[in-house]
Structure formats: structure tokens, C-alpha cells
Chain A
Amino acid sequence: MPEQNVPCLEVRGLTGFYGETQALHGIDFVVQPGEAVCLLGRNGAGKTTTLRAVVGLLAKRRGHIAIDGRPTQGMAPEDIARLGVAYCPEERGIFASLDVEENLLLPPVLMPGGMTLEEIYTLFPNLKLRRKSPGTRLSGGEQQMLAIARILRTGAKLLLLDEPTEGLAPVIIEKIGEAIGILRQRGFTILMVEQNFRFASGVGDRFYVIEEGRVAEHFDRQTLATDHARIEALLGV
């Protein structure tokens, strides 16, 4: 069996519930190793819920999720993490009772191949300057960088980023975009949720539009260039 045919992440017929409310109605998509895939769509479409299902935080989930070909049904979040998935939540999740460096060193190294602290500080020099500050004293942009930086040491190959540009100034968004470019060169695979379509179209290889808990549309970067008007209409941007 040739290894390269196994997707980094495969999601088939994923359904999910918050209490009694069904949020996902059968999501299908794949992420190949080394790709950057974006989930697009309006607020409440089910994008964040999809990421939470992948990392195991959505308790009521059905359907098939496999990481490097290994199904994760019934697995706890801490075991899914050990398959090489790392998650950067929308609210960033910086710990107020930890300083910047403690936040950065918190996630344990689970497998070889992660970045060193020095490499991370080279990528985000601001964090080195502020490494003794309490985590939540950072600006929004620095907190976002910290939230991404934190999951680069662990050896995880698949990074799930939930709205990494939300609420940030254009100059910071540009920096985040550059950083994601560097991470891709280093071989990280990225699954990203984005509302900022301009940003997403700059960093993504393939795009899935989620609507009401289903995949409504799927296209790649070439289609984006040739069919721009139709896609913008679809997203309502």
C-alpha cells in the first residue's frame, strides 16, 4: 500500500449535536498531507463545531473521522492529540495564570519533529520580548501568535486553526499570513476556519463552503481565480 494515498484527515458523514440541537448534518471532506484547506461559510454554519469534532471536544459526534488513516470514533481529546493533531481555538485560549513562556511550554512534546523554542521565537520575535508577561496582557495579535506558536513544539503535523485573523489589524493579519506560509514550507498540514475570504484565498489550496451543517461547495485555488464572481456570491461577501 503506498503511504501517500492515506489522507492526513478524512471526514465522512460527520454529524454532531449540542445537547438536543443538531449542528452538523453530514460533513465530508479530506485534507491531504502538506495541504492548507479552508472551511468557509457564514456564522453558525458549523465550521467551529467541525473542528471541535475532529479534536474530540464535541462529545455527541457520529460518522467517520480518521487521522492518518486511524479512526478516532470514541477517543478522548488527549488520545486524539497523540495522533498528531493540534488545535488553536477561536477564543485563543491563552491562560491568564501563566506567563507567555509558560503558555508556550505548556503543551507537552508528544512526538519528534516539532519546532524548538528558538525557532518559534525566530518566527514570532514579539513573544520572546514579552516572555515573562502574563499571557492575557498581550495584544490581540500577540495572543493569536502565542496561540499558534504554542502548538508548534509538540510534534503535531496537522494544525487546526479557528479564525486566526478574527478582530486583528491588517498589518497583523499580514504577519499571521507570512507565518502560515513558513509553517507550510516546514511541512505542516493546515485545516483552517476563516470568515475573512480575502485572507483565506491567499493561504489556502482548497476550500469547502459549509452551510447549515453540510458541505455546500468545494473548489480549489484555480477555480477561485476563474470563477471569482460566483464564489463571492455564494459566500455573500
Chain B
Amino acid sequence: MPDTLFGFPLAAIAGQVLVGMINGSLYALMSLGLAIIFGLLRVVNFAHGAQYMLGAFVAWGLLEYLGLNYWWALVLAPLVVGLSGVALERTLLRRLYHIDHVYALLLTFGFALILEGLFRYKFGATGQPYPNPIAGGLDTPMAFFPWYRLWVIAASMGMCILTWFVIERTKLGSYLRAATENPNLVRTFGVRVPRMLMLTYGLGVALAGFSGVMAAPIYQVNPLMGSQLIIVVFAVVVIGGMGSIVGAIVAGFGLGVLEGITKLVYPDGAGMVVFVVMLIVLAVRPQGLFGSLR
């Protein structure tokens, strides 16, 4: 077996693909949540990064103050973040549905700044370390794959497939799809659409919280971790197609890997490759790869 490909060491390629898949896992989960929320509520949820950060902090807090480990956090943190989303929808977001959606966007943006500000005030800008819950890894002749990173990729794919299945293949999902197309008509069938909007926002936000827990052992838990991620995630959503479930998943993993490969081939371009793709997609196919024009 050759140990290089196009002049690059195979080990380096495998390593960058792994890093790309890790980032792609987070991009996919995050943009999936945004896609679900945008699809039904037509709200661009700018608080998504802050809610991701909240998920990571809840995981950290559960361990620090209550001694509850990662696996508890994986269940509890998305629940806490999801419930906080339900409360936000119920008290503030809901009041803005009848006016231009830009106002809801501004509300979530303001909420994100406040949340991040509060955490910075309390914890400072430096990160809190979070222990790796699965030590060791898979040692292959090509490269070393840490177990935890493989777990993140598998869990993220599992969650994406589960979410896709629920939306595309179940009765509950058919309400969601129908209400996305014509909420008023679905209401005349006796379906409680306002409650659906609330729970959908909660679910989308819980996915952000879940991503935050997944990220905590890899990156440090810090108040600005979400604002760094969210800009790329918005680009991913635009590339996949606003509101498209499949688009969010495919674009998430695809762009993660593309970014990883770019780090190897042209390291200076890694930070911008996603945005270059976004510009091309916007110019050639503005509805995104999997989106439809309304």
C-alpha cells in the first residue's frame, strides 16, 4: 500500500478527514436544528450558537457541581436547553410571528448576546476543560483514531438519521411538513399548531444543546464557543438550502470534510473555503443545493 496520495501522507489525509468529520458532525447537527426551526417558524434562530454554548456549560456544570458525568449530560443538557427554548418561544418569540420575520431574528440575536455576555461575566473568556469520557482509541497502521471522536461522528449521524426519519416518515412528521406548507389550514383540522411551533423550537434548540455536549470534551467549554461556530453553520445552512433537512445533513458533513482537506492542501484557505462555496452556491443556485424556491 502506498503511504502517500497526490504527494500527501495518507496518515495526514486520514487525520484531516477525521477532523473534518468531527467538525462536520457539529455543522450537521447545528444546521439541522436551524433548518427545522426555519422550516416551520420561518425564524432565523441567531441564538443557536449561544444555545450550543449553553449545552456545553450545562454539561460542565452537571459535572462540576453535581458530579453527573458525560452520559447524564448527554440526556439532561439537551433537555435543559430545549426547555429554555420553549420558555423563550412562549414568552417572547411568539409575540413576533405576526410581523416581519426580521424582528424575530433580531430578538434571537439580542438573546444570544445577552446569554453570552452573562456567561462571560460569570466565567470569563478563558475556557473550562471537560474530561474525555472515552479514553484510548483505534490504532491503525495509517493513523490513530481516538474513540471519543469516532463516537461523536457515530452519535451525530445517528441523531441526524433519527431526526430525518421522524420528520419524513412518521405521522408526527407529516403534521410538521403540512404545517410548514400551510399552517392555517392545518389549524382548521383541529391540530394545535401554536403548540407545535413551541415544541419545534424546543426540539431545534435541544439539538444545539446536544451538539454543545458533544463538543465539550473536544474543545474547551467557553462562553464564545458558539459565536465562533455559528457563522460557519449559517453558511452551511445556506449551502444546503434554507429549511431543507437533507440539505443540512449532507452539507454539514460534506463541508466539514472539505474544510479538513483544505487544511492539508492549502492551509491558509481552510478558514474561508466554506464561504467561497457559499458564494458560488448563492450565485449559481441561490435556493441552496437541496432547497426549493418558494
Q: Measured between alpha carbons, how far is A110 from B192 in the docked complex, in Å?
A: 12
Contact A57 B184 (CB under 8 A): yes
Give A108-149 as 1s and 0s: 1 = Cβ < 8 Å from B's Cβ atoms: 101000000000000000000000000000000000000000
Say which residue of A77, A89, A97, A102 sits within 8 Å of B187 (CB atoms): A77
- Which are the 7 A-B pairs with shortest beta-carbon distances? A81-B190, A107-B189, A77-B187, A97-B177, A93-B185, A87-B188, A95-B178
| B179 CB → nearest A CB, Å | 9
- A residues in contact (CB < 8 Å) with B: 55-57, 76-78, 80-82, 85-87, 89, 93, 95-98, 102, 105-108, 110, 151, 154
Closest residue of A by beta carbon distance from B178: A95
Contact A154 B178 (CB under 8 A): no
Contact A98 B174 (CB under 8 A): yes
Q: Is B134 an interface residue (CB 8 A)?
A: no
Q: Is B148 an interface residue (CB 8 A)?
A: no
Q: Which residues of B contact A55 (CB under 8 A)?
A: 188
Contact A56 B188 (CB under 8 A): yes
| B292 CB → nearest A CB, Å | 9
| B247 CB → nearest A CB, Å | 14
Q: Which residues of B contact A151 (CB under 8 A)?
A: 189
Contact A110 B190 (CB under 8 A): yes
Give B143-187 as 1s and 0s: 1 = Cβ < 8 Å from A's Cβ atoms: 000000000000000000000000000010011011011101111
Q: Is B191 an interface residue (CB 8 A)?
A: yes
| A23 CB → nearest B CB, Å | 17
Q: Which residues of B contact A95 (CB under 8 A)?
A: 177-178, 181-182
Q: Measured between alpha carbons, how far is A86 from B186 in the docked complex, in Å?
A: 11
Contact B188 A106 (CB under 8 A): no
Secondary structure at chain B's binding surface: helix, strand, loop or mixed?
A: helix
Q: Which residues of A contact B185 (CB under 8 A)?
A: 87, 89, 93
Q: Measured between alpha carbons, how far is A95 from B177 in the docked complex, in Å?
A: 8
Q: Measured between alpha carbons, how far is A96 from B180 in the docked complex, in Å?
A: 11
Contact B191 A108 (CB under 8 A): yes
Q: Which residues of B contact A76 (CB under 8 A)?
A: 187, 194
Chain B count of residues within 8 A CB distance of the other chain: 19
> Told that A76-B187, A80-B188, A97-B181 touch, could you supply 12 new A-B pairs with CB distance under 8 A?
A56-B188, A57-B188, A78-B193, A81-B188, A87-B188, A95-B177, A95-B178, A96-B181, A98-B177, A102-B174, A108-B189, A108-B191
Q: Which residues of A contact B171 (CB under 8 A)?
A: 105
Q: Which residues of B contact A89 (CB under 8 A)?
A: 185
Say which residue of B174, B182, B187, B189 sits within 8 Å of A154 (CB atoms): B189
Closest residue of A by beta carbon distance from B184: A57
| A12 CB → nearest B CB, Å | 22
Q: List 19 A-B contacts (CB under 8 A).
A: A56-B187, A56-B188, A57-B184, A77-B184, A78-B192, A81-B188, A85-B188, A87-B185, A89-B185, A93-B182, A93-B185, A97-B177, A97-B181, A106-B174, A106-B178, A108-B191, A110-B190, A151-B189, A154-B190
Q: Which of B175, B186, B187 has the most CB of A within 10 A?
A: B187
Q: Which of B174, B185, B192 has the most CB of A within 10 A?
A: B185
| B101 CB → nearest A CB, Å | 18
Q: Measured between alpha carbons, how far is A20 from B181 in the docked complex, in Å?
A: 27
Q: Which residues of B contact A82 (CB under 8 A)?
A: 190
Q: Which residues of B contact A108 (CB under 8 A)?
A: 189-191
Closest residue of A by beta carbon distance from B175: A106
| A54 CB → nearest B CB, Å | 10
| B88 CB → nearest A CB, Å | 22
Closest residue of A by beta carbon distance from B193: A78
| A80 CB → nearest B CB, Å | 8
Q: Measured between alpha carbons, how far is A108 from B178 in the docked complex, in Å?
A: 13
| B25 CB → nearest A CB, Å | 27
Q: Measured between alpha carbons, how far is A93 from B184 in the docked complex, in Å?
A: 10
Q: Which residues of A contact B181 (CB under 8 A)?
A: 95-97
| B43 CB → nearest A CB, Å | 19
| A184 CB → nearest B CB, Å | 22
Contact B178 A97 (CB under 8 A): yes
Q: Measured between alpha carbons, how far is A96 from B175 in the docked complex, in Å?
A: 13
Q: Measured between alpha carbons, how far is A81 from B171 in the docked complex, in Å?
A: 19
Q: Measured between alpha carbons, how far is A108 from B186 in the docked complex, in Å?
A: 10
Q: Which residues of A contact B186 (CB under 8 A)?
A: 106
Q: Which residues of A contact B193 (CB under 8 A)?
A: 78
